[in-house]
Amino acid sequence: MYTDQLLTCVDCGAEFTFTAGEQEFYAQKGFQNKPNRCPDCRQARKASRNGGGGMQRSYGTRQMFSTTCSSCGGPAEVPFQPRGDKPVYCRDCFQRIRA
């Protein structure tokens, strides 16, 4: 009941075959959409999503807020949003105060 379809890749514009087998697979999975990309571009996207992990790793790092040190008036970076009700210190002053 399925026949091969020729689709155009939205990324590279190349024509690729959406095979009867793939259509059946898509139907079984309940996918409503046809593939937008040729197998090459799909692979490339998958690889860029998994490879490197740049996005995922930076997601875990804390966002730093730039502010002014309450002690020396120099630039300071703190891992929370400074609200002005607490003193914030640059790394040098923070270590001096802790010591």
Q: Which residues bind Zn ion (CB under 5 A)?
A: 9, 11-12, 14, 38, 41, 69, 71-72, 74, 90, 93
What minimum distance in Å lies between the beta carbon of 96 and Zn ion?
A: 8
What minimum distance in Å lies between the beta carbon of 7 and Zn ion?
A: 10
Nearer to Zn ion, 13 or 30 (CB): 13
Yes or no: say if 82 and 88 are a contact pair by the CB < 8 Å rule: yes
Distance CA 66, CA 71 (A): 15
Nearer to Zn ion, 23 or 76 (CB): 76
What minimum distance in Å lies between the beta carbon of 41 and Zn ion?
A: 3
Q: Which token pair is 83?
A: 């609200």
What minimum distance in Å lies between the beta carbon of 60 and Zn ion?
A: 28
* Closest to 4 (Cα-Cα) out of 25, 16, 18, 24: 18
Yes or no: say if 17 and 10 are a contact pair by the CB < 8 Å rule: no
Nearer to Zn ion, 78 or 90 (CB): 90
